[in-house]
C-alpha cells in the first residue's frame, strides 16, 4: 500500500481548507496589484508610493510578526492561531477599501501582513505532520495551487467588479453606492475570509511528528537558531535563492496588469479578466505537474534532487518577465500568466524540502524564514526595483516592460545559481 493510501481523510480536509486559505490570503495580498492605476488616480499617489504599498508596507509587518509566529506555530494550537490571523488580514483588507490616502492604505497593508504571517508556518507544518516525507509533493502542490490560482481569482474578481460597478450592478447594496469600483473589489476580498474561518472551526490538527534522525525532543529557541547557524552552508544559499526567485516572479505578479494597460491598451477590467483566466489555467497545469514530479524526484533523489529541480524551474519563470516583447497582446497575457505555472512547481518543491532538512520544533520558524526571504527581501524589493528603474532611470511609465525584463532576468538567473549552491550542501539521495 502506498504512503498516500494510509493518509486519513482528515489530512486531505486540512489540505483543502488550507488551499482555500491560500486563495483568500494571496488574493487579499495581491488585490492592489490588480488595480494599480485606479488606486493611484483616486488616492493621488506616486509610482514609488505604489511600489511601497505593493511590497514594503505588507512585508514590514509580515516579517516582523512572521518570525515570532513561526516559533509560536511550533508550540501552540495552530487552528486557533490561523483563525486569529485570518480575522486580522480580512478586516485589514476591508479597511483598505475605505482608505482615503496613502497613510491609511499603508496602515491597511501593514495589518494584512500581520494577519497573513501566521498562514505559512501553520499550513506547512500541519501538512508535514499529516503526510509522510515522500508523499508531501501532492498535498504541497494542492496547497500551492491555492496561492497560484488566487492571482487568477483576484484578477477575475477585480475585472468583473471594475466592469459591472459603473453599470450600477451594486447600487442595490446601500453601503456600496457611490464607491469606486476598486474599493468594492477590496471589500468583497476582505469578506471572503469569513468562509475560511467557518471551515476551520470543525477541524482538529494532526499530532506533531518528526522525521529528522537524532532529534529526541523539540529544540528551544537558542537551539533552533544554533541549528541554522551550524548549517549556514545550506541555508544561506537556500534562502537567498528563495529571495531572488521572489524578486523575479514579483515582476509579473505586481506589474503585469499595469504593463497590459500601458503597453497593450487594455482597460483595467479587460486586463483583470484576461490575466485571471490565464493564471488559473497555468496554475492548474503547474499544480498537476508538481503533484506528479515532486514526489517522483523525492523517491529517486531525496531533498537534493528536489533542490536541483527548483534550480531548473527558476529559469523556466524567465519568460514571464519578457511580456513587453511578446509582439501581441495575447502572447503577452500568456507570458505573464506563465509565472503561476513556474511558481506552483517551485513552491511545492521548496516547501516540501524545508521540513525534511529541519528538526521537529524548528519547522515553523524555518517556514517563517522562507516567508521572510520570499516576502520582505524578494516581494518588496522586486516591485521597488521595477518602479525605480521606470521612474528614475527611464522616466516614462510606458517603459515598465523594460524594467520588468531587466529585474526579472537578473534575479531569476541568480535564483537558479544559488539553488545549485544549496544543493551541493546536501548529499546525493539524502532523505
Other Cβ atoms closer than 10 A to 430: 14
Q: Please report the pLDDT score of residue 334 as a whole number.
A: 95
Selected residue with higher pLDDT from 145 and 219: 145
Using the predicted structure, report yes or no on whether residue 410 has a pLDDT greater than 80. Answer: yes
pLDDT one-digit tens code per residue, 364-399: 788 888 877 887 677 778 888 999 999 899 999 889
pLDDT one-digit tens code per residue, 73-87: 878 888 999 999 999
CB 344 within 8 A of CB 356: no
In the chain, % helix, strand, coil (3-state, to 5) comes to 80, 0, 20
Q: What pTM does this model have?
A: 0.72
Contacts of 233 (CB under 8 A, 6+ apart): 425
Selected residue with higher pLDDT from 337 and 374: 337
Q: Please report the pLDDT score of residue 211 as a whole number.
A: 41
Using the predicted structure, report yes or no on whether residue 235 has a pLDDT greater than 50. Answer: yes
Q: Give 8-201+221-424's CATH code, choosing from 1.10.3720.10, 1.20.1250.20, 2.40.37.10, 3.30.70.920.
A: 1.20.1250.20
| Least trusted range by pLDDT, from 2-6, 79-83, 116-120, 183-187 | 2-6
pLDDT confidence band for 168 (50 / 70 / 90): confident
CB 81 within 8 A of CB 178: no
Using the predicted structure, report yes or no on whether residue 8 has a pLDDT greater than 90. Answer: no
CB 189 within 8 A of CB 100: no
Domain boundary assignment for the chain = 8-201+221-424
Distance, CA of 109 to CA of 134 (rounded, Å): 37
User: What phi and psi values does residue 173 have, to the nearest 5 degrees?
Assistant: -95, 105
Q: Please report the pLDDT score of residue 2 as a whole number.
A: 44
Selected residue with higher pLDDT from 49 and 152: 49
CB 238 within 8 A of CB 369: no
CB-count burial class (<10 Å; 0-12, 13-18, 19+) for 218: middle
Query: What mean pLDDT is reported for the chain?
Result: 84
Question: Whose CA is closest to 241, among 69, 400, 67, 424?
Answer: 424
| Least trusted range by pLDDT, from 175-179, 218-222, 396-400 | 218-222
Selected residue with higher pLDDT from 385 and 254: 385
Amino acid at each position: 500500500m502506498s504512503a498516500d493510501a494510509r493518509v486519513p481523510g482528515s489530512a486531505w480536509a486540512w489540505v483543502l481548507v488550507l488551499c482555500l486559505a491560500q486563495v483568500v490570503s494571496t488574493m487579499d495580498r495581491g488585490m492592489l496589484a490588480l488595480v494599480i492605476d485606479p488606486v493611484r488616480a483616486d488616492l493621488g499617489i506616486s509610482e514609488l508610493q505604489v511600489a511601497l504599498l505593493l511590497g514594503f508596507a505588507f512585508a514590514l509587518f509580515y516579517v516582523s510578526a512572521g518570525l515570532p509566529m513561526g516559533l509560536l506555530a511550533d508550540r501552540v494550537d495552530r487552528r486557533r492561531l490561523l483563525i486569529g490571523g485570518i480575522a486580522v488580514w480580512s478586516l485589514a483588507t476591508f479597511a483598505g477599501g475605505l482608505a482615503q490616502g496613502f497613510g491609511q492604505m499603508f496602515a491597511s497593508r501593514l495589518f494584512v501582513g500581520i494577519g497573513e504571517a501566521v498562514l505559512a508556518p501553520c499550513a506547512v507544518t500541519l501538512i508535514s505532520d499529516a503526510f509522510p516525507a515522500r508523499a508531501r509533493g501532492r498535498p504541497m502542490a494542492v496547497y500551492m495551487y491555492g496561492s497560484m490560482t488566487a492571482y487568477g481569482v483576484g484578477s477575475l474578481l477585480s475585472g468583473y467588479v471594475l466592469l459591472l460597478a459603473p453599470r450600477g450592478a451594486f447600487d442595490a447594496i446601500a453601503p456600496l453606492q457611490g464607491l469606486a469600483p476598486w474599493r468594492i473589489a477590496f471589500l468583497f476580498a476582505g469578506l471572503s475570509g469569513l468562509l475560511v474561518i467557518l471551515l476551520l472551526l470543525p477541524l482538529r490538527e494532526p499530532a506533531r511528528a518528526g522525521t529528522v534522525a537524532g532529534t529526541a525532543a523539540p529544540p528551544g529557541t537558542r537551539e533552533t537558531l544554533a541549528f541554522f547557524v551550524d548549517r549556514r552552508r545550506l541555508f544561506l544559499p537556500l534562502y537567498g535563492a528563495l529571495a531572488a526567485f521572489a524578486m523575479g516572479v514579483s515582476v509579473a505578479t505586481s506589474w503585469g496588469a499595469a504593463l497590459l494597460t500601458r503597453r497593450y491598451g487594455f482597460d483595467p477590467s479587460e486586463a483583470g479578466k484576461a490575466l485571471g483566466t490565464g493564471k488559473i489555467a497555468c496554475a492548474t497545469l503547474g499544480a498537476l505537474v508538481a503533484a506528479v514530479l515532486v514526489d517522483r524526484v523525492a523517491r529517486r533523489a531525496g531533498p537534493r534532487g528536489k533542490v536541483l529541480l527548483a534550480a531548473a524551474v527558476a529559469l523556466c519563470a524567465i519568460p514571464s518577465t519578457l511580456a513587453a516583447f511578446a509582439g501581441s497582446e495575447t502572447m503577452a497575457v500568456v507570458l505573464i500568466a506563465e509565472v503561476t505555472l513556474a511558481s506552483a512547481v517551485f513552491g511545492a518543491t521548496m516547501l516540501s524540502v524545508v521540513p525534511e532538512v529541519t528538526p521537529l520544533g524548528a519547522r515553523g520558524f524555518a517556514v517563517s524564514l522562507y516567508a521572510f526571504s520570499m516576502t520582505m527581501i524578494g516581494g518588496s524589493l522586486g516591485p521597488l526595483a521595477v518602479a525605480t528603474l521606470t521612474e528614475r532611470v527611464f522616466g516614462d511609465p510606458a517603459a515598465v516592460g523594460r524594467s520588468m525584463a531587466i529585474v526579472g532576468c537578473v534575479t531569476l538567473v541568480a535564483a537558479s545559481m544559488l539553488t545549485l549552491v544549496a544543493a551541493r550542501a546536501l548529499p546525493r539521495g539524502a532523505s
